[in-house]
A and B are shown apart, each in its own frame.
Chain A
Amino acid sequence: RKEVEQDPGPFNVPEGATVAFNCTYSNSASQSFFWYRQDCRKEPKLLMSVYSSGNEDGRFTAQLNRASQYISLLIRDSKLSDSATYLCVVNGEGTYKYIFGTGTRLKVLA
């Protein structure tokens, strides 16, 4: 089993739709969680950290479910510019190492 697993997609959604991605992780001792966005042929960029109580940044909401060991990302009112690959990143307890998922590709269609 991979340490961090994501559905590769693509998720094709119309503009204005709400879309959600999940990411499961295998190490129950994981402490820190992030969502990154990566555009084609570009570097990953931090979208948001994921806090235990869940957090929101504009149209984006991140949730953590420790019992089931997954994090989620919800995007409301999708824009064409949201088209990208979304990477889930998990950091092990007390380590400098980050485990990246292989990403979920989102296409927002006009």
Chain B
Amino acid sequence: DVKVTQSSRYLVKRTGEKVFLECVQDMDHENMFWYRQDPGLGLRLIYFSYDVKMKEKGDIPEGYSVSREKKERFSLILESASTNQTSMYLCASSPPGRAREQYFGPGTRLTVT
């Protein structure tokens, strides 16, 4: 079974803090994704990566950056957390190629106060 893990289930941070969310997958997948999920808005893509050190902006990259130094790990960074970044953050990975099924981690519920 594919396993995608995320570093924290719940996180509370203060406005202005730098926040790191880590995601690790164990299936040697090339593609990894970061989404946020908000009520009424569904999942929105923040960034994705199709290879080590490669990254592409998704639909809402503002205020976020990512790092992919190793194939199995994809990190999301909030440079200066703001209250409007309070959300559920979901990491996903998928096998090589486009349009393949995605496997999600359990999510990190981030609250910025």
| A contact residues vs B (CB 8 Å cutoff) | 31-32, 34, 42-46, 49, 87, 89, 91, 94-98, 100-103
Say whether B43 contacts A44, CB under 8 Å. yes
Q: Which A residues touch B33, using CB under 8 A?
A: 98
Least CB distance from B97 to A in Å reads: 9
Contact (A34, B90) CB under 8 Å given A96-B50, A102-B42: no
Interface size band for B: 20 to 34
Measured between C-beta atoms, what is the minimum distance from B27 to chain A in Å?
13
Judge if B61 is at the interface, Cβ distance under 8 Å. Answer: no
Give the A-binding residues of B (Cβ under 8 A). 31, 33, 35, 40-45, 48, 50, 56, 58-59, 90, 98-99, 101-107
Inter-subunit contact A32/B106 (CB<8 Å): no
B29 CB to closest chain A CB (Å) equals: 12
Q: Residues of B contacting A31 with CB < 8 Å? A: 99
- Give the CA-CA distance A46 to B100 in the complex, in Å: 11
Identity of the chain A residue whose Cβ is nearest the Cβ of B50 in the assembled complex? A96
Query: Judging by beta carbons under 8 Å apart, are A43 and B106 in contact?
Result: yes
Q: Would you list the 4 A-B pairs with minimal beta carbon distance, nearest first? A: A32-B99, A43-B104, A102-B42, A100-B43
Contact of B107 with A98 in the complex, beta carbons under 8 Å: no
Query: CA A33 – CA B98 in complex, angstroms?
Result: 12
Contacts of A95 in B (CB 8 A): 98-99
**Inter-subunit contact A46/B103 (CB<8 Å):** yes
